[in-house]
Chain A
């Protein structure tokens, strides 16, 4: 796991981007926990970190596609990769292994 940021680097209920091991990732802090997914919306490249977040979903700011932060899936059929996140001692770690895509 790679250290991404400190807990208070991300305002509650928002997302921020970071490049880890060459991959652009959006990290979210919601009421139910921390999540990390691809930073770029598969639809037309919208910045997901700038979207509106609820308990475990983010809505892309450009055309409102919603992605489940736990699975990366969207009712639109689009999908983003989800990266495991862990918070230890106020620090946020992300596992930058591409999760196997369900066949």
Chain B
């Protein structure tokens, strides 16, 4: 194509944007104009489901930032509508008058939501679910609605229902046929989906043909064909799409259900192509992103005069409903199928085979191996034993996937692309790979798989240096050496001599920890290097207020403490008082400027609930009260908390002490857990039950409390000195290896040195809430238009400033 040729793309949806990108990747010169009917730059429509749940701003959905279009020389016309034109003359008419010249034209006009022609469809309170305005309208209605109904039990209808349920509104999905998602699921899987939805507050009504939306001034309910009805003051309609072919028809391009295209993605007119939800290929109109991206690549090739053919797509879908894992690909039913199902656990895994080839997969509740199975279906792989194939998939690691296995469905990124980003483009971290390939930037559900593959391609994430400062590629060890060698005592000094933290600031908290750790807590504290939580010693909330958790060692409190907490909560009108999962009390919603006053009135030390520090030592009642108790877990827990409290750690550290192996303090899932056993104490490390669940490893079983304390404290210090910032013990312990840790912490000399450094660091800790009287700056807690409290210095300021 010659340099001045201009391709005009009508429609700035995912399809239009994909064509523009694919063209620019292939040809740096061809003129590209993207006409967007909507007022916004192309955005990620599929993430509207997410926005419906959390109400965030649609501006966050942009597929590319504004600069991208300038950088890539793509002209964009926003909020402009193409009304017609003359194909042979190569001109389009925009908004009535203006003309736009083109050499080749791509129709990416997408689709409109299908609305059934039933009475009441135009009533207020009835919404489709297609664009940001619909999202806003549904959220606004949900806020005041008492009952909502979603007509349509497909993928999108269920996502809409989830969004409404998340607003706390009762919702019923009404579906015409006898099972949900009939295009993706077989009857068994569809039936298993219902209880999972019920858990999320979503009711389902099947075999329900809606005949009328009831109500006079606004929607009040639905009436069905069988005469029954339900109440609904919010109705979302999600029964399918209607390809937008008005423009194509005006221009005289052939259409059936959609705009008819050949394998080249060309329409009946040789200057006109069509891609996306408006296009009909081989009798199919696709309503998912992955096929659209395939089409866009073919269209870009053929637009530039290369040969390429689109041969249709095997559909695969993921339900984007938090709490339900569901992946499906290809056909839901076939001649032969292997099914592995556990009704009690709500899991269902099925691989369907025809003529010895994989043609469909359904994974519900347990989606292990989804990428491998979906890849097998897409490639129609030979399968001799489907049951075996299912089992192999659940054990498959990233290495077993073929290069063509699509990992990110939203952006059509395959395993091979991820590996190339590492091997060819030199990316070393998942973050870099995601930025380069855009994998994981759509709905985000593929991120864990991306991380696994990058780990594989880089030869293991653990072996790759974990940079403390990614901008300047400095590791923790290198920086620690510098700090030691040059006697650096503050973050600014390190910044001055190494540049660390000057370009982006992301590493400053890690650096602040390192400086304090290397100096045994005798560093020069600089608050600008700390997260806001550590600047004001409270946990920031989504609305910018803070939560306050006073120390309550071992979960044990007194009437007088409880009385003070109650008084403070009333005096400062604290909106929420909550018992935490860590055996203490949380006062939530405190304004920043009230923090010092709240601490003063509480007169309790900080619980460090906001910091990377020793958090809680959870205890059970133990030997003193419990008929099974073998040791004084409560007393011991309190002792441990006193011994460790106030110490900052690479990531938060949670501990627990149980009085017997019944383990009511859940010590086996703590970073450090101690369990009283017959004749002694078992010391465990590296446990967790948060985002990752890991049973703590047994470090040793010792006879006395003193030994248990010594062993666990030695481990704590070893962890403080050797873990990467934000590395919890559940990653640290397996990374170093239990045997190696045991060797070090039980070594006479090494152990003694660790304990000595621990003693020094601990001796320099103080209760940060004392800054209520000795703030590090007069405006520590106040904004510029607030009056700071006059400072009353009562403590030794040098110490309080730590």
Contacts and interface: CB of A to CB of B under 8 A. Distances in A.
Interface of A: 4-5, 9-14, 16-19, 27, 31, 42-47, 49-55, 57-59, 61-62, 64, 66, 73, 75-78, 102
26 contacts: A4-B784, A9-B779, A11-B528, A12-B528, A13-B528, A13-B529, A17-B783, A17-B784, A27-B784, A31-B495, A42-B57, A44-B542, A45-B543, A54-B501, A54-B502, A54-B503, A54-B508, A57-B503, A57-B504, A62-B540, A64-B506, A66-B505, A73-B65, A75-B65, A76-B60, A76-B65
A52 B784 contact: no
A13 B526 contact: yes
A77 B64 contact: yes
Interface string B506-525: 10110000000000000000
Contact of B785 (A14, A18, A55): A18
Given A5-B784, A13-B526, A66 B56 contact: no
A77 B532 CA distance: 24
A94 to B, nearest CB: 10
Q: Would you list the 7 A-B pairs with minimal beta carbon distance, nearest first?
A: A13-B528, A54-B505, A77-B65, A18-B784, A50-B532, A11-B777, A17-B783
Interface residues of B, number: 37
Contact of B544 (A27, A47, A55, A57): A47
Contacts of A42: 57, 59
Contact of B503 (A5, A12, A16, A55): A55
Given A14-B527, A43-B56, A61 B540 contact: yes
A40 B57 CA distance: 13
Contacts of A52: 505-506, 508-509, 528-531
Given A44-B56, A44-B542, A51 B532 contact: yes
B60 A43 contact: yes
Given A44-B542, A52-B509, A59-B506, A16 B779 contact: yes
Contacts of B789: none
A19 B66 CA distance: 29
Contacts of A73: 65, 67
Q: Which of B64, B495, B501, B528 gathers most chain A CB within 10 Å?
A: B528
Interface of B: 56-57, 59-60, 62, 64-67, 495, 501-506, 508-509, 526-532, 535, 540, 542-544, 776-777, 779-780, 783-785
Contacts of A54: 501-505, 508
B504 A53 contact: no
Nearest to B532: A50
A73 B780 CA distance: 28
Nearest to B41: A77
Contacts of B65: 73, 75-77
A11 B784 CA distance: 11
Contacts of B779: 9-11, 16
Contacts of B535: 14, 50
A67 B777 CA distance: 25
B241 to A, nearest CB: 27
A52 B533 CA distance: 11
B334 to A, nearest CB: 43
Contacts, number: 100
Given A43-B57, A43-B60, A59-B506, A14 B784 contact: no
A78 B67 CA distance: 11
Contacts of B780: 11
A66 B57 contact: no
Nearest to B782: A16
Nearest to A47: B544
A50 B544 CA distance: 9
Nearest to A75: B65
Contacts of A64: 506
A27 B59 CA distance: 24
Contact of B504 (A5, A46, A59, A78): A59
B505 A14 contact: no
Q: Which of B56, B59, B65, B505 gathers most chain A CB within 10 Å?
A: B505
Nearest to B528: A13
Contacts of B544: 45-47, 50
Nearest to B592: A50
A17 B782 CA distance: 9
A59 B505 contact: yes
Contacts of A11: 527-528, 776-777, 779-780
A77 to B, nearest CB: 4
A48 to B, nearest CB: 10
Contacts of A12: 528
A57 B505 contact: yes
Contacts of B777: 11
Nearest to B530: A52
Contacts of A77: 59-60, 62, 64-66
B528 A14 contact: yes
Nearest to A43: B60
Contacts of A46: 544
Contacts of B776: 11
Contacts of B542: 44, 62
B523 to A, nearest CB: 16
Nearest to A59: B505
A18 B62 CA distance: 30
Contact of B540 (A5, A50, A58): A50
